[in-house]
Amino acid sequence: MRPLFGSFFLLALLLSAKVFGQELIPNGGFETYRTCPWKDNLLEEAAPWYNPNLATPDVYHRCSSETQAQMELPPRTGQGLSRLLMDLNWAEYLATPLKEPLRAGETYHFEMYMASTRPSQYPSGSFGAIFTNQPITSKQKGLLAFPTRPQVIDVSPRRFTQRLRWEEIAGCFTATGNERYATIGNFYELPQLLGDYYLFVDNVSLKPVRLNLGRDTTLCGRRATHLLDATTPGGTDYRWNTGSTSPTLRVTKPGKYWVTVKTFCKELRDTITVDYRLSFSLGRDTTICDTKTLPLRVDAPGTFRWQDGSEQNTFNVKQSGQYWVRATDGSCSAADTVAVRYMAPPQLDLGADQSLCGAEVYTIRPTHAQGTFRWLDSLATPDRTVTTSGVFRASVTNDCATLMDEVTVDYSGCPCQVYAPDAFSPNADGNNDIFEPFACGDITFTALTIYNRWGEIVFFTDKAPFRWDGTYRGERSPTAIYTWHLDYALRQGDQPPLRKVKQSRLTLIGF
């Protein structure tokens, strides 16, 4: 037998994770019963638990309203719990056969949860569990006589710091072999004075400390996954070769996987190899341009069946649709699907190059299809009116390609000049009511000045619109001859702009 280490129990209080594995204690939560225990002293109703001496241990269950008050606190889990009394010359125990004999040399993890009615009277170092080949019985009501030291003894110096609070008592031991019975209770010390001291017991558990990831395995198809479970009784630290620290690991690709598990009992390690059969893919959903074909291929052994019933390992896609194949190799079968879309290439025509004169304007009306249209230098709508020389570029884009086109507009084929009326009549009749010069798009006006016949400035602007309504300081100007002076810039082609001036006479016809 392995002696119990006292420092373990301080750490055991911190262990809150549920212990998994093969459970050897039957009815450890006192949940099942032969007849609902309706009064004290009916431990045997929670079979296969039994009373090993002449004392009277209790079992309570919520099936009986008559014993609800005796429970004093809710069960830790479920509906049932047990209660033991320690008193002067009085010791109560719980005993049960195990589900199977213990194996020699194997490590086991034992735990149970207890709650005290009088924490200060708890006899430290006396309570625990013993596992024996034969049942231990006595015709007395005091401490049982044990053939050997109990495998689990609670030696925590600070047990039960609060009244009626569930606390864990746990420990590890190595079996000598063929232990078939568990006995739980007080082993070394009873209260020295007459009085009633109760301990409630729940969730009694005994599990072998084993780590087994299972046999090496082979999965069918690349989408298959495999859950590796390294959960170990008393496990406190899990380290996978992938870096994960969870008790479980979801495998999604072939490889060798191993884990190291630290428990309060010992450190364990296991390895498993996961292979994949029929791990193939038809590829992502895709778009094919124009009249090309898409060859699909399955690089895997076995037999094949495509959506059209063909049985080769290749298939040539020639039109839009959903394409699937199922591959079978022995008992392994896997399938994959790909969506294929055919798309025509983009189309774009901006029209012929244009040579314009004077103040002509031109609207480019693109012809486009099979994609998204955009001007490369503007957010304008497809139809675009231009008044200046330049090269105008656009594109049409779809999933297949981007097509570009350009059109050149040139005002240099004839002189680009400034035009202006030589008379106007601002009489609000809707005809020649303002004076406004105009020109082709290669000319940019920068300032307009109007002089009277004495050379005085009666109007000036250096911002658009460059027009005069025939007034001076809010008053109508008299009928007379005036002079207009226009500053402008001329840009044609890639040459830098030329600064120019034009002036001429203007007749204002009276109101």
User: Where does 147-191 show beta strands of DSSP type E?
Assistant: 152-153, 167-174, 181-186
Distance CA(11)–CA(20), nearest Å, equals 18
In the chain, what are the domain boundaries? Answer: 7-208, 217-277, 286-342, 347-410, 418-508
- Tell me if 194 sits within 8 A of 88, measured CB to CB: yes
In this prediction, residue 386 carries a pLDDT of 86
Q: Are 257 and 241 in contact (CB under 8 A)?
A: yes
Distance CA 23, CA 29 (A): 12
Ramachandran sector of residue 407 (left: φ over 0; alpha: ψ -120 to 50; beta: rest) = beta
Structure confidence at residue 378 (pLDDT):
85
Per-residue pLDDT of the chain (511 residues; tens, 9 = 90+): 233 333 332 233 333 333 345 899 999 999 999 999 999 999 999 999 999 999 999 999 999 988 888 899 999 999 999 999 988 889 999 999 999 999 999 999 999 999 998 888 777 788 999 999 999 999 999 899 888 899 999 988 778 888 999 999 999 999 999 999 999 999 887 777 667 789 999 999 999 999 999 999 999 988 899 999 999 988 899 999 999 999 999 999 999 999 999 988 899 999 999 999 888 889 899 888 876 788 999 988 889 999 999 999 999 998 889 999 999 998 899 999 999 998 888 999 999 898 877 667 889 999 999 899 999 998 888 999 888 888 999 999 998 889 999 999 887 666 677 888 999 999 888 888 899 998 877 888 999 999 998 889 999 999 999 999 999 998 889 999 999 999 999 886 667 888 989 999 999 887 5
* Topology, domain 217-277: Immunoglobulin-like (2.60.40)
Query: Under CATH, what is the fold of the domain 418-508?
Result: Immunoglobulin-like (2.60.40)
pLDDT in the model for residue 497: 84
Does residue 37 have a cis bond before it (omega within 30 degrees)? no
Q: Residue 249: enclosing H or E segment and its boundaries?
A: strand 248-251
Q: Which residue is listed with tokens 């969870």?
A: 246
pLDDT at site 197:
85
In angstroms, the CA 258 to CA 423 distance is: 99
User: What per-residue confidence (pLDDT) applies to 138?
Assistant: 93
Distances (CA, A) of 478 to 88, 217, 353, 511: 133, 106, 49, 8
Q: What is the pLDDT of residue 13?
A: 30
pTM (2 d.p.): 0.57
Greatest Cα pair distance in the chain: 143
Contact 463, 489 (CB under 8 A): no
61-70 long-range Cβ contacts below 8 angstroms, 24+ apart:
61/30, 61/31, 61/33, 61/36, 61/37, 63/33, 63/36, 63/37, 64/36, 64/37, 64/38, 66/38, 66/39, 67/37, 67/38, 67/39, 67/40, 70/40
**CA-to-CA distance for 356 and 354, rounded, in angstroms?**
6
| 43: helix, strand or coil | helix
Query: Domain 347-410 has what CATH class?
Result: mainly beta
Residue listed under structure tokens 């341009």: 289
Domain 7-208 and domain 418-508 have a common topology = no
Rg of the chain in Å (alpha carbons): 49
Report the distance separating Cα 41 and Cα 60, nearest Å.
9
Q: E strands of 307-398, at which residues?
A: 314-317, 321-329, 332-343, 347-349, 354-355, 362-364, 367-369, 372-375, 384-386, 390-397
CA distance 383 to 398: 20
- Which position has the token pair 């241990």? 57
Report phi then psi at 261, rounded to 5.
Answer: -120, 125
Other Cβ atoms less than 10 A from the Cβ of 128: the count is 23
Q: Does domain 7-208 have CATH number 3.40.190.170?
A: no
CA distance 158 to 124: 8
8 — phi, psi (to 5°)?
-60, -35
